[in-house]
């Protein structure tokens, strides 16, 4: 169903656009699902503060996702604000087989066999239709079932089965998931379903492809060859094996997600906060947008307000300098999707008003890279601070100059100007960046004039305010940000 909005007076739309320019820097990703499928609900989430919408390809049909993409693009057109769309593909799902009666009770200390036999299982055995797990496991390997609720330890191995001891028992039903935290499994990160979903998502113009269960840099390289630059790759770090080659994986990615759901299953709980901080720090050092996700406002699935611990969890991600935070079931299946986005917006805005937040952000700024582009971005932050500039305007064709500027976490907002609509949508994820589409400026003087006009239209600047402008002079060094200027608006 196509969402056809009623006509709105131009003056009202102009006021809406000004109001919808986020005053906070940290962005919000909202997952869509049954609770947020209706066009009017989706628009409310956007108005409440959602900057990027996530489509979870583990659920829903292609027709469902296509309808939501059309609605998002219609909202984008009406409000003249670029919205990012993340297509999160499922990745390899490892599951046990089925049971006679659909469910068994495993007792702690009992033996339990995992084999390749498709016969429905019982309290003594069940099919494990993944020979790669049997091949990779060794004596002492831990297997986690049903999101870690049950724990098995391998005590004997044969070519076609594993004999295990139940370390933590409990109920186990058909097709529950299996996690193997101890070993890197020789399985591809992209399944046949993932490839079909990626092709569909790219044909419908999504901005990010989320990669699930990445274990090694080669997984990201494989996806990059398939995607071919048609979207940015957001690598979800949710396997302990990914932490072993974190720098290399992030270097091959365009953005990173701290996917605490599966990461929290495979890592001890006390290790997850340390892993989160390490991933955020590494992504920031490499200038990649980084998202903190999963269970951020979990109680709001069924309640109109979060717990105090959840509010503190969101605040921690902001203090760490994450580019974005994500809502999952809260907006996809919860009873209060609007309230969840609104609450997230309120927490982010309040934390960013705190003096201690700015001191922490300043102290955690990454070391500048040894390049002209990085030096100019670093200088822009300093110049903006000294001059009291109200905004930094970055002319960027591929978005990289805006990302480098966002990496510096400057005090004023970043106005990212690009001629590519796809780039403006991708920059919806970047910390502190408000992206607009405008023709490429051929000369620095033209860039200065255009920046002043755009800043005034968006309410970022008034006549007489200082702007810091970053642009490229093609005559000096093509495809490089090598010009920094300070101009007065209207001067």
> Catalytic annotation on 236?
yes
Residue whose pair of structure tokens reads 């970047």 in the numeric block:
430
C-alpha–C-alpha distance, residues 208 and 190, integer Å: 16
* Tokens encoding 239: 């396997």
> Catalytic annotation on 282?
no
Angle at 189 between CA 188 and CA 194, to 5 degrees: 110
C-alpha–C-alpha distance, residues 23 and 18, integer Å: 10
C-alpha–C-alpha distance, residues 57 and 71, integer Å: 17
Which contiguous run of DSSP H or E holds residue 394?
Answer: strand 391-395
Half-sphere exposure of 255 (CA within 13 A, CB side): 31
- Identified catalytic residue from 235, 282, 294, 378: 294
Contact 410, 432 (CB under 8 A): yes
> Catalytic annotation on 294?
yes
C-alpha–C-alpha distance, residues 369 and 400, integer Å: 14
> Catalytic annotation on 95?
yes
- Identified catalytic residue from 54, 404, 407, 426: 54
Q: Nearest 5°: phi and psi at 194?
A: -60, -40
- Identified catalytic residue from 25, 176, 236, 409: 236
C-alpha–C-alpha distance, residues 235 and 219, integer Å: 10
- Identified catalytic residue from 17, 95, 195, 281: 95
C-alpha–C-alpha distance, residues 159 and 98, integer Å: 21
Contact 294, 261 (CB under 8 A): yes
Active-site positions read: 54, 95, 236, 294
């Amino acid at each position: 169903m196509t969402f056809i909005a009623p006509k709105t007076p131009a003056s009202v739309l102009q006021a809406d656009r000004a109001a919808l320019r986020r005053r906070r820097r940290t962005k919000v990703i909202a997952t869509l699902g049954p609770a947020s499928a209706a066009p009017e609900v989706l628009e409310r989430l956007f108005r409440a503060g959602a900057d990027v919408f996530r489509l979870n390809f583990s659920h829903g049909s292609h027709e469902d996702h296509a309808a939501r993409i059309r609605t998002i693009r219609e909202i984008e057109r009406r409000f003249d604000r670029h919205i990012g769309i993340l297509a999160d593909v499922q990745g390899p799902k490892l599951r046990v087989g089925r049971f006679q009666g659909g469910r068994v009770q495993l007792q702690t200390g009992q033996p339990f066999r995992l084999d390749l036999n498709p016969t429905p299982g019982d309290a003594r055995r069940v099919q494990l239709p993944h020979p790669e797990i049997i091949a990779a496991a060794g004596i002492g390997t831990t297997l986690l079932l049903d999101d870690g609720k049950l724990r098995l330890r391998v005590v004997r191995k044969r070519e076609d089965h594993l004999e295990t001891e139940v370390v933590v028992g409990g109920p186990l039903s058909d097709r529950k998931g299996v996690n193997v935290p101890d070993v890197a499994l020789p399985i591809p990160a992209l399944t046949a379903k993932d490839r079909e979903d990626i092709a569909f998502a790219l044909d419908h113009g999504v901005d990010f492809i989320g990669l699930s269960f990445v274990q090694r840099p080669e997984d990201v390289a494989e996806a990059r060859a398939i995607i071919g630059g048609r979207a940015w790759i957001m690598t979800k770090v949710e396997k302990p094996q990914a932490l072993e080659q974190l720098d290399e994986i992030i270097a091959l990615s365009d953005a990173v997600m701290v996917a605490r759901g599966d990461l929290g299953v495979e890592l001890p709980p006390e290790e997850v906060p340390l892993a989160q901080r390490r991933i955020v720090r590494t992504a920031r050092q490499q200038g990649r947008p980084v998202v903190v996700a999963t269970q951020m406002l979990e109680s709001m699935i069924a309640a109109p307000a979060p717990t105090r611990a959840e509010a503190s969890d969101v605040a921690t991600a902001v203090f760490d300098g994450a580019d974005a935070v994500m809502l999952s079931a809260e907006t996809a299946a919860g009873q209060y999707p609007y309230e969840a986005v609104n609450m997230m917006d309120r927490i982010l805005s309040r934390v960013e008003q705190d003096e201690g937040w700015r001191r922490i952000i300043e102290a955690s700024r990454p070391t500048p890279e040894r390049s002209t582009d990085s030096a100019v971005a670093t200088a822009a932050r300093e110049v903006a601070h000294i001059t009291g500039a109200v905004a930094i305007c970055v002319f960027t064709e591929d978005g990289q100059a805006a990302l480098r500027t966002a990496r510096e976490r400057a005090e004023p907002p970043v106005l990212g100007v690009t001629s590519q609509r796809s780039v403006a949508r991708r920059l919806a994820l970047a910390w502190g960046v408000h992206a607009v589409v405008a023709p490429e400026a051929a000369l620095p003087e033209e860039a200065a004039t255009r920046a002043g006009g755009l800043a005034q239209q968006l309410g970022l600047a008034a006549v007489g305010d200082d702007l810091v402008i970053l642009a490229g002079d093609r005559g000096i060094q093509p495809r490089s940000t090598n010009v920094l200027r300070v101009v007065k608006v209207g001067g």
